[in-house]
Chains A and B, each alone.
Chain A
Amino acid sequence: MNNQVFVRMEDICKTFGTVKANDHINFEVNKGEIHALLGENGAGKSTLMNMLSGIYKPDSGSIYIHNQETKIGSPKESIEKGIGMIHQHYKLVEVQTAKDNVILGQTGSIFLRPKKLSEKLTKIVAQFGLSVEPDKKIYDMSIGEKQSVEILKVLYRGADILIMDEPTAVLTPQETKKLFKIMRNMASEGCAIIIITHKLHEVMEISDRVTVLHKGATVGTLSTKDTSPRELTDLMVGKSVNLSINRPEVERGEVLLSLHHLNAIDNNNVKVLKDMSFKLYKGEILGVAGVAGSGQKELCETIAGLYPVTSGDIIYSGENIVGKSPREIIKKGIAMSFVPEDRLGMGLVASMDMIDNYLLKEHHNQKGFMIKRGPIEKVCERMVEQLEIKTPSVHHPVKQLSGGNIQKVLIGREIDSNPQVLVTAYVVRGLDIGASHTIYDLLNEEKKKGVGILFIGEDLDVLLELCDRIVVLCQGEITGVVRAKDTTKEEVGYMMAGERIEGQVVAL
């Protein structure tokens, strides 16, 4: 192992207003090393990395790149220093080719030289074992391929320090394996790689060393082989926590909701739901697994009456609810909480306060022409207390709350309407361990009450631990329904990629 230090950050401090985002942080990455940066939301990971990529400047402390003290003033300077950042949300121009995206913003001759560029790209692609076709348009690519383009972009710019911000969040387990292989290739070619994540098993699998941050301070840097997920969580959360998710055994009741051969198409006449059939029982959490964009959103929306169905039935308490308006469906006791990627798009109005957001769903149950805020205010205050929502008051615009608290407001409102069926999608998106567990507990409480919960999730580990059964989707089709207890991550991963496994397709 070559111990040449590529990045050294010493005593870095950064304050936003009164919040100390980084408090005397020390961080070091060597050549050829994969270094994981671990921490809860708000621990200061992004702030620290944004100082390397030139978006923020440290208040105090010093940064050494290749053993030279440097000041990084802008993204451009950062690129020049050989630092490449691969963002969580890809920064690619969809209608352009991989090649165009790679060359974007590069200086050089005025006219583009497509041929010469293709040769150079093919060389890099071969060197690192990436799989990218330079002339393919981005919109034709899978998520894995898009990520490869991002990596290629950074490598083309001659970066030898790579920062990857939660690179596996949207990948299937198989794609993740491929990515890890590429990362190892890059490390052995002499790059230094920093991976930001909060998936512990990935830290254990890929990294050589790991630095844990907690509340803006470094807790420590450990060698991965000398530590355990247990120890890392305790360091990360700052106290001992129970890692496992409860799955209370509840007697499964009657069928609440059943889908029969449901089909739906999108604007471009592409089938987004193909012949989908499954049943949701009382007192169970039914998980839905699948790569992003496999029809999860459309599934939620068809159940909530927001998306048109081309054929098929959704039977709820003996009645077909296809074609009913969203309000009728809500009245019947089906509630949906969908957390979109930007967390705010659906369900809540960002600039309104909690009370008004609650009223959006509640006002038509009130009598008379004028809205009464009084009773709702009490409900909201109770909700704040029960769910430990951190907000100055219920009159505060929800967009000023942190992501986790916004999600609590959203799901709290749905639960509060006492639904029979609760459809939840990505409710723990971007939440840290503590907040996630609060939400799991809430869902389990509902399950005990006999509510049927459809849980659409991203993290397979969570799905396997929390849900009773899991429906696996691939491109709008059900590729398997499995009992969470009796399956493995690999099996679900294969089904997510479209393979059907013998004996697992049966709807239980």
Chain B
Amino acid sequence: MTTFLVAMVIAGTPLLFATLGELLTEKSGNLNLGVEGMMLIGAVAGFGAGYTTGNPLLAIMGAALAGGLAALIYAFLTVTLRANQVVSGLALTIFGAGVSSFVGTNFIGKKMPVEVISAFVKIKIPLLGDIPVIGDVLFNQDYFVYMGYMIAIVIGIYLYNTRFGLSLRAIGENPSAADSSGINVTVYKYVHIIVGGALCGMGGAYLAVVAVPQWQDNITAGRGWIAIALVIFVKWNPYLAIFGSYLFGGLSIIGFRLQHLNISPQFFDALPYLVTIVVLVISSIRKSKEDSPPKGLGEPYFREER
């Protein structure tokens, strides 16, 4: 059981990064459907940086930078040019898949150098790591996993306990209210879309650099889409995102564990997506003002709109 939980957290970590990235973006009132694309770009950039330099830090930074740059394209289109957010996001996904395939042809079959892999081995946190079960699941993991839930907590504090977070939530809900309070809506949107993209990129990189760690085409395999559904599932709450992501991580690996049950493996492959559909259905039936998406989501903001 413990081994399953450990594997669940590992499988959930790329989802967690992507979910947090999309959550931050949506809180600023922008719906970015390009998560899959940004993850793929991040994955190939992270793999490329790690493979050529052998430096783990550069791998992470390369992935974040590439994801952020991809998001910058989206931000420019939707915030400055006020293009349709759905179309821009979809375009980004297709673009990202293309770029990662194209760049990745050089890496097919290549493995991560040992210097990088050894940087991401499991490291036990003293004391906390000795707690039964929880210790192994949460405190005896690699740096990336720690970074994942730490970032989630930091984003939680940022959103709910700081002025900047308050401003960001206000922008997502009612940009004109924020604007009239002297908040720079454009700057906030840009910053959070780009940071969101960087997180998505890192989520992709975790797959390519740590989890697999070998290059394969379309390495994210639809996880970006699951992340978008997860944002709804966790009600735009970064703390819940930790549990939601790990849960879905578990769903994606449950097939391996239950091989002996003689259930079709295709069913298990489809399971995360099935649950995603169920989640979307349930969350659209459930109606509460607190749990609903930011009101301004998907709407471009014009100060002087009539």
B163 touches A103 (CB 8 A): yes
Give Cα distance in the complex from A153 to B164, angstroms.
18
CB of B283 within 8 Å of the partner chain: no
Does residue B173 face the partner (Cβ distance < 8 Å to A)? yes
Q: If the complex has contacts A104-B167, A104-B181, are A91 and B176 also in contact, measured as CB distance less than 8 A?
A: yes
Pair A112/B176 contact, Cβ less than 8 Å: no
Instruction: Given A100-B166, A112-B163, decide whether A95 and B173 contact each other with a Cβ distance below 8 A.
Output: yes
Cβ proximity bits A87-98 to B, threshold 8 Å, 1 near / 0 not: 100011111100
The verdict on B27 contacting chain A, using a C-beta distance below 8 Å, is: no
Known A79-B182, A93-B177; contact A110-B163, beta-carbon cutoff 8 A: yes
Residues of B within 8 A of A392 (CB): none
Q: For the complex, would chain A's binding face be called helix, strand, loop or mixed by DSSP majority? A: loop
**Contact, CB under 8 Å: B169 / A105:** no
Known interface pairs A111-B162, A112-B162, A112-B163. Does A93 touch B289 (Cβ–Cβ under 8 Å)? no
A-side contacts of B174, CB under 8 Å: 91-94
Measured CB to CB, the nearest residue on chain A to B172 is A93
Asked if B179 is at the interface (CB within 8 A of a chain A CB), the reply is yes
A79 to B182 alpha-carbon distance, docked (Å): 8
**In the complex, per-residue mask of B275-302: 1 if CB is within 8 Å of any chain A CB, else 0:** 0000000000001011010010000000
Per the 8 Å Cβ criterion, residues 74-94 of A in contact with B are: 74-76, 79, 85, 87, 91-94
| Residue A386 lies at the interface, judged by CB distance under 8 Å to chain B | no
In whole Å, how far is B115's beta carbon from the nearest beta carbon of chain A? 38
Whether A106 pairs with B290 at a CB distance below 8 angstroms is no
Contact A104 B177 (CB under 8 A): yes
CB interface residues, A 266-320, toward B, < 8 Å? 267-268
Check: B155 CB closer than 8 A to any chain A CB.
no
**Are B166 and A76 in contact, with the CB atoms below 8 A?**
no
Which residues of the other chain, A, contact B169 by a CB distance below 8 angstroms?
A: 93, 96
In the complex, what's the smallest C-beta–C-beta distance from B262 to chain A, in angstroms? 45
Q: Which of A94, A103, A107, A399 contacts B166 (CB 8 A)?
A: A103
Does any Cβ of B come within 8 Å of A108's Cβ? Answer: yes
Partner of A267, one of B163, B177, B287: B287
Residue B161 lies at the interface, judged by CB distance under 8 Å to chain A: yes
Point out the residues of chain A lying under 8 angstroms from B180, CB to CB: 75, 85, 87, 91
Determine whether the beta carbon of B182 is less than 8 Å from that of A95. no
Q: Complex Cα distance A94/B169, Å?
A: 11
Contacts of B182 on A, CB cut-off 8 Å? 74-76, 79, 105
Q: How far is the CB of A78 from chain B (nearest CB, A)?
A: 9
Question: Which A residues touch B162, using CB under 8 A?
Answer: 110-112
Which residue in chain B gives the minimum CB-CB distance to A80? B182
- Measured between beta carbons, the chain B residues less than 8 angstroms from A87 are 180
Give Cα distance in the complex from A91 to B178, angstroms.
Answer: 8
Residue among A91, A107, A108 with the highest chain B CB neighbour number at 10 A: A91
Please measure, in the bound complex, the distance between the C-alpha atom of A79 and the C-alpha atom of B177, giving whole angstroms: 14
Interface pair A104/B173, CB less than 8 Å apart: no
CA of A75 to CA of B303, assembled, Å? 12
- Please state if A94 and B170 are interface contacts (CB–CB under 8 Å): no
Whole-angstrom distance from the CB of A404 to the nearest CB of chain B? 14
Q: Can you list, as one digit per residue, whether each of B237-271 has a CB less than 8 Å from chain A (1) or not (0)?
A: 00000000000000000000000000000000000
**Which residues of B from 24 to 47 have beta carbons under 8 Å from A?**
none
Which residues from B are CB-within-8-Å of A95? 173, 289-290, 292, 295
Q: How far is the CB of A151 from chain B (nearest CB, A)?
A: 14
CA distance A268 to B173 in the complex (A): 21
Q: Please tell me which one of the listed residues A94, A104, A107, A109 contacts residue B289 in the complex, with CB atoms under 8 A apart.
A: A94
Whole-angstrom distance from the CB of B86 to the nearest CB of chain A? 20
Question: For the complex, what is the distance from the CA of A106 to the CA of B178, rounded to whole Å?
Answer: 11
Query: Is B117 an interface residue when CB atoms closer than 8 A count as contact?
Result: no
Inter-chain contact A139/B183, CB cutoff 8 Å = no
A273 to chain B, nearest CB (A): 21
Q: Within the assembled complex, what's the spacing in Å between the Cα atoms of A268 and B285?
A: 11
A73 to B22, CA, bound (A): 35
* Pick from A76, A96, A399: contact of B173, CB under 8 Å: A96
* Residues from chain B with Cβ under 8 Å of A109 in the complex: 163
| Chain A 489-507 interface 0/1 with B at a Cβ cutoff of 8 Å (1 = within) | 0000000000000000000
Query: Across the interface, do A93 and B179 meet the contact criterion of CB distance under 8 Å?
Result: no
Within the assembled complex, what's the spacing in Å between the Cα atoms of A74 and B303? 13
Say whether A105 contacts B178, CB under 8 Å. Answer: yes
**A92→B177 contact, CB < 8 A:** yes
Q: Which residue of B176, B179, B295 contacts A94 across the interface (Cβ within 8 Å)? A: B295
Contact status A105-B289, CB under 8 Å: no
Q: What's the minimum C-beta distance from A501 to chain B, rounded to whole angstroms?
A: 35
Given contacts A106-B163, A112-B162, contact A94 B183 (CB under 8 A): no
* Known contacts A94-B173, A100-B166: A105-B183 contact under CB 8 Å: yes
Which residues of chain B come closer than 8 Å to A101, judged between CB atoms?
170, 177
Residues of chain B within 8 A of A267, CB atoms compared = 287
Q: What is the distance, in angstroms, from B76's C-beta to the closest C-beta of chain A?
A: 23
In residues 154-207 of chain B, which contact A (Cβ within 8 Å)? 161-164, 166-167, 169-170, 173-174, 176-183
Please indicate the chain B residues that have their CB under 8 angstroms from the CB of A107 in the complex.
Answer: 163
Residues of A within 8 A of B163 (CB): 103, 106-112
Q: Name which residue of chain A comes closest to B158, CB basis.
A: A110
User: Closest chain B residue to A139 by CB distance?
Assistant: B289
Residues of B within 8 A of A108 (CB): 163
Q: Chain A 247-275 against B: per-residue CB contact (8 Å), 1 yes, 0 no?
A: 00000000000000000000110000000
Give B residues with C-beta under 8 Å from A.
161-164, 166-167, 169-170, 173-174, 176-183, 287, 289-290, 292, 295, 306
A79-B182, A95-B295, A104-B167 given; 10 more Cβ-contact pairs under 8 Å: A75-B180, A95-B289, A96-B170, A96-B173, A105-B167, A108-B163, A111-B161, A111-B163, A137-B289, A139-B289
- Sample (6) of A-B pairs whose CB atoms are under 8 Å apart: A96-B166, A96-B169, A101-B170, A101-B177, A104-B167, A112-B161
- Going nearest first, the 7 A-B pairs with the smallest beta carbon separation are A105-B181, A76-B182, A91-B177, A93-B173, A105-B183, A104-B181, A105-B182
